[in-house]
Structure 1
Amino acid sequence: MPWRLMRFALSREHPEGRMFRTYADLKDSYDVVIIGAGGHGLAAAYYLARDHGITNVCVLEKGYIGGGNTGRNTTIVRSNYITPEGVRFYDASIKLWEDLSEDFDLNLFYSRRGHYTLAHTDSALRTMRWRAEVNKHYGVESELVGPEFIQRELPMMDMSCGGHAPVLGALYHAPGAIARHDAVAWGYGRGADRRGVEIHQKTEVTGISVNSGKVHGVQTSRGFIHTEKILCAVAGSTPRLLSMVDLQSPIYIHPLQAMVSEPTKPWLNPIIVSGSLHVYISQSARGELVLGASLDPYELHSTRSTLDFTEGLSAHILELFPFLSHVKIVRQWAGMADMTPDFAPIMGKTPVEGFYLDAGWGTWGFKATPVAGKTMAHTVASDSIHPLITKFSLERFRSYALTGEKSAASVGH
Structure 2
Amino acid sequence: MTTPPGAHLPDHPTFLWRNPEPRKSYDVVIVGGGGHGLATAHYLARNHGITNVAVLERGWLAGGNMARNTTLIRSNYLWDESAGIYEHALKLWEGLEDDLDYPILFSQRGVLNLAHSLQDVRDSVRRVEANRLNGIDAEWVSPEQVKEICPIVNISDDIRYPVLGATYQPRAGIAKHDYVAWGFARQADAAGIDIIQNCEVTGFVTDGDKVTAVATTRGEIATGQVALCAAGHTSTLTDRLGIRTPLQSHPLQALVSELLEPIHPTIVMSNAVHVYVSQAHKGELVMGAGIDSYNGYGQRGAFHIIERQMAAAVELFPVFARAHLLRTWAGIVDVCPDASPIVGRTPYQNVYLNAGWGTGGFKVTPGLGWCLADTIANDRLHELIEPFSLDRFITGALVDEHGAAGVAH
Instruction: Report the alpha carbon displacement of residue 228 of structure 1 after superposing the two structures with TM.
Output: 2.1
Instruction: Report the alpha carbon displacement of residue 111 of structure 1 after superposing the two structures with TM.
Output: 0.2
Q: Choose from 165, 177, 181 the match for 1:181.
A: 177
Q: Choose from 187, 191, 197 the match for 1:191.
A: 187
Mapping for residues 85-104 of structure 1, pairs under 5 Å = 85-104=81-100
Instruction: Report the alpha carbon displacement of residue 126 of structure 1 after superposing the two structures with TM.
Output: 0.7
1:368 aligns with 2:364: yes
Query: What residue in structure 1 maps to residue 3 of structure 2?
Result: none
Instruction: Report the alpha carbon displacement of residue 162 of structure 1 after superposing the two structures with TM.
Output: 6.5
| Distance in 2 (alpha carbons) for counterparts of 1:133 and 1:15 | 49
| Distance in 2 (alpha carbons) for counterparts of 1:372 and 1:153 | 31
Once the two structures are superposed, residues 85-135 of structure 1 have per-residue CA deviations (whole angstroms, 9 ceiling, x without a partner) of 111111110110011111112110000001000000111111111110011
Give the number of equivalent residue pairs.
400
Query: What residue in structure 2 maps to residue 19 of structure 1?
Result: 16
Contact 2:253 2:301 in 1 (8 A): yes
1:256 aligns with 2:252: yes
CA RMSD of aligned residues (A): 1.4
Once the two structures are superposed, residues 199-224 of structure 1 have per-residue CA deviations (whole angstroms, 9 ceiling, x without a partner) of 00000101011221111110000111
Unaligned runs of 5+ in 2: 1-5
Contact 2:149 2:266 in 1 (8 A): no
Which has the higher mean CA deviation after the structures are superposed, 294-303 or 349-358? Answer: 294-303
1:247 aligns with 2:232: no
Query: What residue in structure 2 maps to residue 394 of structure 1?
Result: 390
Q: Choose from 389, 395, 403 the match for 1:407.
A: 403
Query: Structure 1 vs Structure 2: percent identity of aligned residues?
Result: 45
1:69 aligns with 2:68: no
| Distance in 2 (alpha carbons) for counterparts of 1:210 and 1:382 | 22
Q: Which residue identity lines up with residue 194 of structure 2 in the other structure?
A: E
Query: What residue in structure 2 maps to residue 290 of structure 1?
Result: 286
Contact 1:89 1:389 in 2 (8 A): yes
Query: What residue in structure 1 maps to residue 315 of structure 2?
Result: 319
1:273 aligns with 2:269: yes
1:310 aligns with 2:309: no
| Distance in 1 (alpha carbons) for counterparts of 2:406 and 2:247 | 15
Give secondary structure in 1 for the equivalent of 2:398: coil
Mapping for residues 65-214 of structure 1, pairs under 5 Å = 65-160=61-156, 163-214=159-210
Query: What residue in structure 1 maps to residue 334 of structure 2?
Result: 338
Unaligned runs of 5+ in 1: 1-11
| Distance in 1 (alpha carbons) for counterparts of 2:187 and 2:97 | 12
Give secondary structure in 2 for the equivalent of 1:133: helix
Which has the higher mean CA deviation after the structures are superposed, 294-303 or 88-97? Answer: 294-303
| Distance in 2 (alpha carbons) for counterparts of 1:153 and 1:96 | 25
Give secondary structure in 1 for the equivalent of 2:124: helix
Q: TM-score with structure 2 length normalisation?
A: 0.96
| Distance in 2 (alpha carbons) for counterparts of 1:408 and 1:307 | 26
Q: Which residue identity lines up with residue 345 of structure 1 in the other structure?
A: P
Contact 1:162 1:320 in 2 (8 A): no
Contact 1:229 1:354 in 2 (8 A): yes
Instruction: Report the alpha carbon displacement of residue 405 of structure 1 after superposing the two structures with TM.
Output: 1.1
Instruction: Report the alpha carbon displacement of residue 151 of structure 1 after superposing the two structures with TM.
Output: 2.3
1:219 aligns with 2:215: yes
Query: Displaced runs of 4+ in structure 1, greater than 6 A?
Result: none
| Distance in 1 (alpha carbons) for counterparts of 2:78 and 2:306 | 30
Query: What residue in structure 2 maps to residue 6 of structure 1?
Result: none
